[in-house]
Amino acid sequence: MTTPADAVHRPTGDTTSGSVASESTSESLVHGMVRLARPRQWIKNLLVFVAPGAAGVLFHLTVLWHASAAFGIFCLAASGTYYLNDARDVEADRAHPTKCRRPVAAGVVAVPLALTLGIVALAASVALAVVLAGWQLGVVMGAYLAVQLAYSGGLKNEPILDLACVSAGFILRAIAGGVATSVPLSNWFLIVVSFGSLLVVTGKRSGEKHLLGDDEANEGAVRQTLGLYTATFLRTVRTLSAAVAVSAYCLWAFERAGQVHPGHDPIWFELTIVPFVIALLHVLRLLDSGLGAAPEELALRDHRLQAYGVIWVALFAIGVYAG
């Protein structure tokens, strides 16, 4: 996972070949392979727990096992795509002032080895998905890999489509959690996840533009689509995404209350709307300040956001078990 300052790989100075060589000789192959897998990015895969968690069955032993296995499968698939991407982009990375330190570009992990491990990891993730939950989960994993490969193959340079591809990756993680645990996915749930994902992705692009400041010449070098997005457009997409997500969440909360307690509504599910909206407004404020370039950092380090999450979980748990 990158820090906000590193999220756009902004050139900060010259990197000598001697420093890269020194790094490549001092780093072991095993450490390089682990670093290439980007384990800190695996936090995104926690989305597989959302569907069973929202259904109130996450801590049932079988459900927890299947969700945890799906999490591991997505970690394997994500790492496989990183291996392939870095092997394919090795020459461009070697000419980049910061990406040249990546294990493949620095010569720590050989290109053929990275390609082989990437292909094996992707194939294994689909096979394991079929073993875990049948062909349905295999199809979800196949769709995830197809989106990732299409994004890396050129869609990352297409405006709007790059936002759609990255958002689809989040959505497919959430869908996989439901498929792996046999939890039905409500329409409102899918809408919340879809537009919440679009909000996060758009906030990331806004954060990248903010970090670059007025350096428009570097926008295309960092990410080709950045130069095609205006700050006003990205703010409009964030506002639209937040509005739809809140509306869908409210409808989901009322629907869920009626399902869990038919004929008797203790309003706990409805109360979860309060921390959800407050947390969303908090995120919007941060994104509008340009702090969304590394959204994983917000989840890991923003204690206020974490507190809102704890309150939401507490209210939701009471709603599930309240008489």
Q: Two tokens at 117?
A: 């491990």
Q: Two tokens at 272?
A: 């979860």
The mean pLDDT value for 240-263 works out to: 88
Quick check: is 7 in a domain?
no
pLDDT band for position 2 (50/70/90)? very low
Between the ranges 84-88, 100-104, 281-285, 288-292, where is the mean pLDDT highest? Answer: 281-285
Amino acid identity at 40: R
Q: Is the pLDDT of residue 91 over 60?
A: yes
pLDDT band for position 322 (50/70/90)? low
pLDDT band for position 291 (50/70/90)? confident
pLDDT digits (tens, 9 = 90+) for 266-285: 788 899 999 999 999 999 99
Quick check: is 240 in a domain?
yes
Q: Two tokens at 167?
A: 């958002």
Q: What percent of the chain has pLDDT over 90?
A: 48
267 and 287 inside one domain: yes
154 and 301 inside one domain: no
- Choosing from 155, 184, 213, the residue where a domain stops is 184
35 and 150 inside one domain: yes
Q: Is the pLDDT of residue 12 over 50?
A: no
Quote the pLDDT of residue 6: 42
Find the domain containing 260 and state its range.
Answer: 186-323
Residue identified by tokens 């939701």 is 316
196 and 180 inside one domain: no
Distance CA 253, CA 269 (A): 5
Quick check: is 305 in a domain?
yes
Give the CATH number, domain containing residue 126.
1.10.357.140
* Nearest to 298, CA basis, from 286, 307, 308, 288: 286
Quote the pLDDT of residue 63: 94
Residue identified by tokens 């917000």 is 298
Q: Two tokens at 33?
A: 């392979």
156 and 261 inside one domain: no
Quote the pLDDT of residue 199: 94
Quick check: is 32 in a domain?
yes
pTM surpassing 0.85? no
Counting the structural domains of the chain, the total is 2
Distance CA 259, CA 267 (A): 12
Quick check: is 1 in a domain?
no
Quote the pLDDT of residue 293: 74
- Choosing from 138, 159, 184, the residue where a domain stops is 184
**pLDDT averaged over the chain?**
84
Quick check: is 320 in a domain?
yes
Q: Specify the range with the lowest mean pLDDT, choosing from 55-69, 79-93, 129-143, 152-166.
A: 79-93
226 and 102 inside one domain: no
242 and 264 inside one domain: yes
* Nearest to 167, CA basis, from 195, 197, 200: 197
pLDDT band for position 27 (50/70/90)? low
pLDDT digits (tens, 9 = 90+) for 116-166: 999 999 999 999 999 999 999 999 999 999 998 898 888 888 999 999 999
Quick check: is 3 in a domain?
no
Distance CA 12, CA 34 (A): 26
- Choosing from 184, 203, 223, the residue where a domain stops is 184
Quick check: is 11 in a domain?
no
150 and 190 inside one domain: no
254 and 116 inside one domain: no
SS3 sequence of the chain: CCCCCCCCCCCCCCCCHHHHHHHHHHCCHHHHHHHHCCHHHHHHHHHHHHHHHHCCCCCCHHHHHHHHHHHHHHHHHHHHHHHHHHHHCHHHHHCCCCHHHCCCCCCCCCHHHHHHHHHHHHHHHHHHHHHHHHHHHHHHHHHHHHHHHHHHHCHHHCCCHHHHHHHHHHHHHHHHHHHHHCCCCCHHHHHHHHHHHHHHHHHHHHHHHHHHCCCHHHHHHHCHHHHHCCHHHHHHHHHHHHHHHHHHHHHHHHHHHHHHCCCCCCCHHHHCHHHHHHHHHHHHHHHHCCCCCCHHHHHHHCHHHHHHHHHHHHHHHHHHHCC
Q: Do residues 7 and 207 lie in contact, with contact meaning Cβ atoms separated by under 8 Å?
A: yes
190 and 239 inside one domain: yes
120 and 221 inside one domain: no
219 and 162 inside one domain: no
Distance CA 184, CA 120 (A): 31
